[in-house]
Chain A
Amino acid sequence: MSAVKSLVSKLTGIAFAILVIATINFVLVHSAPGDPALVIAGQSGATDAEFIEQIRRDYGLDQPWFVQYTSYLTKVVTLDLGYSVRQRADVSDLILERLGPTLLLTLSAFGLSLIGGVFFGALAGLRQGTWKDLAISLAALILYATPVFWFGLMLVLVFSINLEWFPAFGYANIRAASFTPWQYALDVARHLVLPAVTLAAIYMAVYTRLMRASLIEVSHEDHVKTARAKGLTEGRILRGHMLRNAAGPVITFAGLQAGALIGGAVVVETVFSWPGLGRLTFDSVTARDYPVLLGLFLVMSILVIAINLLTDLIHRLVDPRIGAR
């Protein structure tokens, strides 16, 4: 019963969030300096009065605002995100074909940062005050203050220009068409390493600091003292009594960071020419292709909501008490 109820409240929450995001889009188009029709045209057809007039009619810009607003919301619900005059394509098609690479990049980075953060945080927390703790904490402090795009460039400088271990940019080799599926997967994986590490590193720093503090806190709890008094080995205490408890807050926080992760993907994809939503964002910014930008904002926000649901699921798996409550 309560599961159905919580699902319903979650779904209304999501619907409301999408409504707010769509409203932001609508307000933005209409608060832009100048004519909204020019914004929609991406200022490309500014010279062509007839074209602007057609956009005005198509988008109902001559209608009162609430008519425009409801028609915009209806379009969003039916996944009609408008038309990019610049790219001569439907915005939803443009976004859909870029979705895969972004999912691959963000989900790998998400997993990597979570696993790495829990690992290094636990290591630092267990060896509190030793050189290992100090080194990990210092690295986390520095990484946390590093601009993501610059970190990516530095990795390119070291690992692809100097050491030539990984490709500096792109998604797959140009000759990928002649590859077998296995060769292709391996090739994409090689291209994925640097962008994923770049995106993961910053969040890994955050999770490491959090995991360290959380583990130290858990290690003072009574049930851990009991386990120690029973004579369990340190390894078993860590695995059986501390790790899950300590990782809980880290996973919750990771879910909250999903929005930042997607934002980070935008700059990382720009640096590595990764053909995902982020790269599309950069190209649309450069071309001032507003319909695409507005659509991207909507889709990326929905992506964040999806990642939030995913972390919720992970949290339930790690800590079964949540589902039972």
Chain B
Amino acid sequence: MPQFLKTFLRRPAGAVGLTLLALVTAMAIFAPLIYPASPWEMSGIPFSQPGENGMLMGADTLGRDIAAGVVHGARISIVIGIASTLTALLIGVTLGCVAGYAGGALDSAIVRFTEIFQTIPNFVLAILLVAILTPSIATIILAIGLVSWPPLARLTRAQVRSVSTREFVQAARCQGQSTLSVVVRHVLPNAISPIIVLGAMTVAAAILIEAALSFMGLGDPNYMSWGYMIGAGRTVIRQAWWMSVFPGLAILTTVIAINLVGEALNDALNPRISRA
């Protein structure tokens, strides 16, 4: 493990990404301490410029503090990013394992199904799901998870197929271990590292989808989110650039950080592939 950490941190991408990500995570965790008041509350004069009236990033059309919104928005982005990726992993890894290990007709059925899901415009399906099931954290997580699993399923299937032909898997099977135990204890642990990397990238993509959903007015109305702030500031961008610029920078920073971490993870976990 120390070797792994060393490779990870030696790459500038890993160090920079991890630092940025730590910053955003700290923002998410300590939001109630940094800005104890609700980000929905009016705390100054509407349309205050950045730096005016003690508001670092200015105020929005209703006098709400943009900086407070940015800090609190980190929470929803990270929670939804992680939870929806876990949902996608659950679906994708399960289907991928079944397809890759079982093979045959079941395999081709799952592959077909996955391909169709990959063709469907996933953002449009997410819109439809959230709109019909009414927007809330739970439905947003479900919707993003439901549209994000196909790449994970494909990768898991390919990995499981290649690992399950190896000798130690055959040995485990010959010992009479149950299929479930062979897959969970022998195949998956040896197939997991590229899946972890893709999982990290999926978190980044999920955060972008969440932002786009709440930009379209499909966010959870109880929580401040970056996409909502940009959507609200959009109509007055001519008079007040700061309302949409700062939340956007927050999304950009978070997504870059996760992508960098993902790339460094890839180099550290799959040393052979990374030399391209």
Binding site for B on A (CB under 8 A): 16-17, 20-21, 24, 28-29, 31-33, 39, 141-142, 144-150, 153-154, 156-157, 161, 213, 216-217, 256, 258-260, 262-264, 266-267, 270-271, 281-282, 285-286, 288, 290, 293-294, 296-297, 300-301, 304-305, 308
Interface presence of B51 (CB below 8 A): no
Q: A147-B255, A256-B118 are in contact. List 9 more A-B contacts (CB 8 A).
A: A16-B116, A33-B133, A145-B252, A260-B122, A262-B121, A264-B123, A266-B123, A285-B127, A301-B119
CB pair B217–A16 under 8 Å, yes or no, is no
CB pair A144–B131 under 8 Å, yes or no, is no
| A141-B259, A217-B276 known; A300+B119 contact, CB < 8 A | no
CB pair A260–B121 under 8 Å, yes or no, is yes
CB pair A263–B248 under 8 Å, yes or no, is no
A18 to B: closest C-beta gap in Å: 9
Chain A residue at smallest Cβ distance from B256: A145
| A285-B131, A301-B121 known; A150+B230 contact, CB < 8 A | yes
- 27 A/B residue pairs, CB under 8 Å, sorted by A: A21-B116, A31-B132, A141-B256, A141-B259, A145-B255, A147-B208, A147-B215, A147-B227, A147-B251, A149-B215, A149-B230, A150-B252, A153-B234, A154-B245, A157-B245, A216-B276, A262-B124, A264-B123, A285-B218, A290-B131, A293-B131, A294-B128, A297-B128, A300-B124, A301-B119, A301-B124, A304-B119
Contact with A along B97-125 (1 / 0, CB 8 A): 00000000000000011001011111111
A28–B234 alpha-carbon span in the complex (Å)? 31
Bin the interface of chain B by size. 35 or more
Contact with A along B62-104 (1 / 0, CB 8 A): 0000000000000000000000000000000000000000000
Query: A17: which B residues are within 8 A, CB to CB?
Result: 116, 119
Contact with A along B117-150 (1 / 0, CB 8 A): 0111111110111011110000000000000000
CB pair B248–A153 under 8 Å, yes or no, is yes
CB pair B217–A286 under 8 Å, yes or no, is yes
Query: A290: which B residues are within 8 A, CB to CB?
Result: 131-132
Chain B residue at smallest Cβ distance from A202: B208
CB pair B123–A260 under 8 Å, yes or no, is yes
CB pair A154–B248 under 8 Å, yes or no, is yes
B241 to A: closest C-beta gap in Å: 6
Query: B234: which A residues are within 8 A, CB to CB?
Result: 153, 271
B118 to A: closest C-beta gap in Å: 7
Interface presence of B212 (CB below 8 A): yes
Residue from the list B212, B237, B252 in contact with A156, Cβ < 8 A: B237
Chain B residue at smallest Cβ distance from A282: B216
Residues 190-212 of B contacting A (Cβ, < 8 Å): 204, 208, 211-212
A301–B122 alpha-carbon span in the complex (Å)? 9
A161–B241 alpha-carbon span in the complex (Å)? 10
Interface presence of B272 (CB below 8 A): no
Interface presence of B244 (CB below 8 A): yes
CB pair B123–A147 under 8 Å, yes or no, is no
Query: A288: which B residues are within 8 A, CB to CB?
Result: 131
A153–B249 alpha-carbon span in the complex (Å)? 12
A260–B123 alpha-carbon span in the complex (Å)? 7
Chain A residue at smallest Cβ distance from B13: A141
Residue from the list A24, A161, A281 in contact with B127, Cβ < 8 A: A281
Query: A217: which B residues are within 8 A, CB to CB?
Result: 276
Interface presence of B238 (CB below 8 A): yes
Query: A305: which B residues are within 8 A, CB to CB?
Result: 119
CB pair B251–A20 under 8 Å, yes or no, is no
A21–B112 alpha-carbon span in the complex (Å)? 13
Query: B215: which A residues are within 8 A, CB to CB?
Result: 147, 149, 267, 270
CB pair A147–B119 under 8 Å, yes or no, is no
CB pair B237–A157 under 8 Å, yes or no, is yes
Residue from the list B132, B212, B216, B218 in contact with A28, Cβ < 8 A: B132
| A145-B252, A259-B118, A290-B132 known; A153+B244 contact, CB < 8 A | yes
Query: A262: which B residues are within 8 A, CB to CB?
Result: 121, 123-124
Query: B118: which A residues are within 8 A, CB to CB?
Result: 256, 259
Chain A residue at smallest Cβ distance from B207: A147
Query: B248: which A residues are within 8 A, CB to CB?
Result: 146-147, 150, 153-154
Query: B218: which A residues are within 8 A, CB to CB?
Result: 285
A292–B244 alpha-carbon span in the complex (Å)? 29
Contact with A along B172-184 (1 / 0, CB 8 A): 0000000000000
Residue from the list B123, B244, B256 in contact with A142, Cβ < 8 A: B256
CB pair A28–B129 under 8 Å, yes or no, is yes
A248 to B: closest C-beta gap in Å: 17
Contact with A along B209-242 (1 / 0, CB 8 A): 0011001111000000001001000100110010
| A39-B132, A149-B230, A304-B119 known; A281+B124 contact, CB < 8 A | yes
User: Which 6 pairs, one residue from A and one from B, show the smallest C-beta to C-beta distance?
Assistant: A263-B123, A150-B248, A145-B255, A262-B121, A259-B121, A145-B256
A134 to B: closest C-beta gap in Å: 12
Query: A258: which B residues are within 8 A, CB to CB?
Result: 119
Query: B132: which A residues are within 8 A, CB to CB?
Result: 28-29, 31-32, 39, 290, 293
Chain A residue at smallest Cβ distance from B254: A145
A24–B113 alpha-carbon span in the complex (Å)? 12
CB pair B116–A20 under 8 Å, yes or no, is yes
Query: A161: which B residues are within 8 A, CB to CB?
Result: 237-238
A169 to B: closest C-beta gap in Å: 10
Chain A residue at smallest Cβ distance from B249: A150
CB pair A147–B211 under 8 Å, yes or no, is yes
Residue from the list A266, A267, A304 in contact with B120, Cβ < 8 A: A304
